[in-house]
DNA sequence: CTAGAACCTGACATTGACGTCAGAGGCAAG
DNA sequence: CTTGCCTCTGACGTCAATGTCAGGTTCTAG
């Protein structure tokens, strides 16, 4: 498929796909006229990339981790594996932090609800 | 206290404190020579701001939500409250997304461990 | 063949919370 | 008074994934 279709099916912009390729995260074959062509598997690949980006990994980090995805074998450099574990831990810590922030928001919301309830006793009837 | 002490105690840079003030999120009194002075409560205030920033709220959004923190009463504009609830929901969705990403990383890690275990049976003895 | 959509490369713009530097004044200790 | 640290304002730098525009080529439907 060409880049436009891949973009639609993976839910990203054409610009992003070119950027991923530039970063070495996505391969494409070129037609004689220079247009990019992708196999079906590229859709899942891009979705995977999106998920890693969503996890806060940078292009560089994703690039260093991808070998574990593409060739999960012992010849995969150990550093790639360690980096993946490190990113998992970082992500866990980040999630914990966000949970704390959400708890704080919940408390603020509850406080505000109480104040409003005090002044507007059962406004819905 | 002056800005340097506040920065140390709240764990942020002096630059950040000036920025928060510029964004209308943090007040200060000025000495006759123009230096900023803060009350004790400013420490908690800054920590609160940091937590909201950690939750992905922008300066603008924090500014719109702060009335709920400072004056949780009915005269607090309803839009501020709704925005706070909206941010909570956005944060929840974000956390869900990160959990999915972490799950994916866990699977990748497990896959790699299996491959390594196959080739290096019990290397630790 | 032709209009129009899709594609190409290259490059500049964007966003936001800061970092950092410059030049100048303020403040406590000796 | 001086040394040295702190603070001030103002302004430019940063980083990273994308947006966007320009100018040109390619594909596709009619």
Q: Tell me which chain B residues have a C-beta less than 8 angstroms from the C-beta of A102.
A: 55, 88, 91-92, 95
- Structure confidence at residue B125 as a pLDDT band (50, 70, 90): very low
Between strands B29-30 and A36-37, the pairing is: unpaired
Please say whether the beta carbons of B57 and B25 come within 8 A.
Answer: no
Cα–Cα nearest to B20, from B44, B41, B50: B50
**C-alpha span between B42 and B47 (Å, rounded):** 9
Tens of pLDDT, residues A63-99: 999 988 888 676 667 888 999 999 999 999 999 999 9
At residue A79, the pLDDT reads 84
B46 and chain A in contact, CB less than 8 A: no
A11 and chain B in contact, CB less than 8 A: no
Average pLDDT over residues A35-56: 97
Does residue B101 surpass a pLDDT of 70?
yes
Please give, rounded to a whole number of angstroms, the shortest distance from the CA of A3 to a CA of chain B.
25
In angstroms, the Cα distances linking A18 to A8, A26, A32, B32, B123 are 14, 9, 18, 56, 43
Q: Tell me which chain A residues have a C-beta less than 8 angstroms from the C-beta of B94.
A: 98
Does residue A61 surpass a pLDDT of 70?
yes
Tens of pLDDT, residues B27-63: 999 999 999 999 999 999 999 999 999 999 999 999 9
At residue B68, the pLDDT reads 83
**C-alpha span between B45 and A112 (Å, rounded):** 18
Average pLDDT over residues B99-122: 84
Tens of pLDDT, residues A1-32: 999 999 999 999 999 999 999 999 999 999 99
At residue B12, the pLDDT reads 97
Q: What is the DSSP letter of B28?
A: -
**C-alpha span between B52 and A108 (Å, rounded):** 12
Tens of pLDDT, residues B88-98: 999 999 999 99
Does residue B73 surpass a pLDDT of 90?
no
């Amino acid at each position: 498929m060409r880049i436009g279709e891949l973009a639609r099916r993976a839910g990203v912009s054409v610009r992003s796909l070119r950027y991923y390729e530039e970063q070495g995260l996505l391969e494409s074959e070129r037609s004689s006229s220079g247009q990019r062509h992708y196999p079906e598997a590229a859709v899942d690949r891009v979705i995977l990339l999106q998920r890693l980006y969503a996890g806060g990994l940078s292009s560089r980090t994703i690039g260093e981790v991808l070998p574990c995805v593409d060739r999960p074998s012992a010849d995969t450099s150990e550093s790639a594996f360690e980096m993946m574990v490190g990113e998992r831990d970082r992500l866990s810590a980040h999630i914990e932090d966000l949970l704390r922030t959400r708890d704080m928001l919940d408390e603020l919301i509850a406080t505000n609800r109480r104040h409003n309830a005090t002044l507007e006793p059962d406004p819905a009837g």
